[in-house]
Chains A and B, each alone.
Chain A
């Protein structure tokens, strides 16, 4: 039953090859979907171009369905998967900062890596800014320790929040994603006319 301990199964070197293969596939899809181009990423916010948002949310929905189907069939132990604990207030603050940074800079931390991989200057500088920000945060995190640990809810997921069965939440999230795609297309049509 997954998740598998790759190191004990394949050894350290063998596991590195798996990481390499997954990283290659991930990078290939990101770059070919336009995640490495700040103009395409910024265009999502103005509904001019929707490829990135569609790829991202389709990936989320497919991963969600695969995870919970695998769990239902006994192929995966969901409880062994790391689900980040919720720290509500710092989460909201961090989301705001990242959102502003994304729309101003054209990248999020991950996409700046994709961009830097193709040696785009804006991506490289964004990445350098990321690293500098991380170092400064690391050195000053102690000053905001109380806030940083506030709003702790442990591992808190949508089924617990909504008091619904996991399967129902999966359906709702799928409908939300599909509805969002249709809604965004409609808005794009309104603003820019029908897509060619």
Chain B
């Protein structure tokens, strides 16, 4: 950006003149500074007498000490008067939100370590404390330096748990790192309007997790953009997918082998789901899509009690009108609701026929779920592509069925591990898109995703929720989301939803609404010590490729060669 040099890191920009712990601090801008150089979301440091306060700019205002000035502003040609008034009678004030404090004594003790290592190593993030007081009047405020950033967010070189996801606003080249260990241990959310770069940030986060081996991933890839090639808005060539970066550590599963063949994707496994895997809960999840009433759902239970968990669907679809009449008479079920249910489920079976198969007729040779669990257990990451079957109904059905079974496998493994003997199941991160469909207030209590989001890390399974409509997600779940990476959101309801469970959210609202529409995100929550606005790093550029190849366990040259070959 051309205006980066306007305010260099470490420049003093003003003094604290008022404020409160609850409402944030007000800084008067130095007369020589221009308000136009100050941008919401920028990371600044207030140097109090005893502490450093790491803060974020939340608002910029124009102030005047002379009331009459507003009635009779100087003429636009009156350069002298404008220069005289600037910084005296008229001035800029900046609202700051202090996020963390660090006692100055600690800082001095840490500095030698910092300079020796040249990284954030030796700086314990435990020394950073939540802000419990505020700096005195006239404390100087300066823009943050690279040392400040690495002190707070850690450095990639220092520890493999840190992963570079971007740079603070106006501070290109200075990495902000995500603490991956903390990231994967809770459910996380990546939000933003359509086209703001959610998918790219998700890819970057996933690359970090895979590269640093912090968890295994299961990605429900609705639009087939993670596994193999992804698309770049704005006409640039396709970008590499996870499979190209991490070769044998990523397996691509697909529901639509046709589409995979057309796109030239090498698929590891084709997923088929037998009727016997469908439970009533899966059908309930689709009640909006299938327009089901509560009565029809009760009817499902009647079928289950008659035919059992595995056969009910197959039996229902096979029924003819006589069967229905007989069944209704013997089981005290409303005939019209049973026929409605049959009709609707036939629609479902029809629309999903390429992967949903009647195992009572065909039999099924390999259980896809067991395959996926096996891959995940052995530490391989699984991308499930939906190909053409990206209708929400299909996506939700498959995601729910698979996740439910994977979750129960994980619960079993975890319980076995607790009883001793068995190894703990690996930390699993499940990535879902269009999450509001699974986690809406009406459904969150019933779907497996709601359960995972709530019980969180107890069973080593967490969610990575990617969504453009966070207001559609149950607030109870949103408040439990550990780390939120939020791109631009305009809708007030969505902004409110993202800031649920965040203290002192008022200042962040403005920051969120003023993000650029591309490659900028507000990161807050468990994996970062303080909320920060970042310019996200560019996915799949030269730098990213190099850093992925580095330390990935294999010879760097050969990885680079493989990546390039795949893409030639």
A and B associate: no
Interface residues of chain B, those whose CB is within 8 Å of chain A, are none
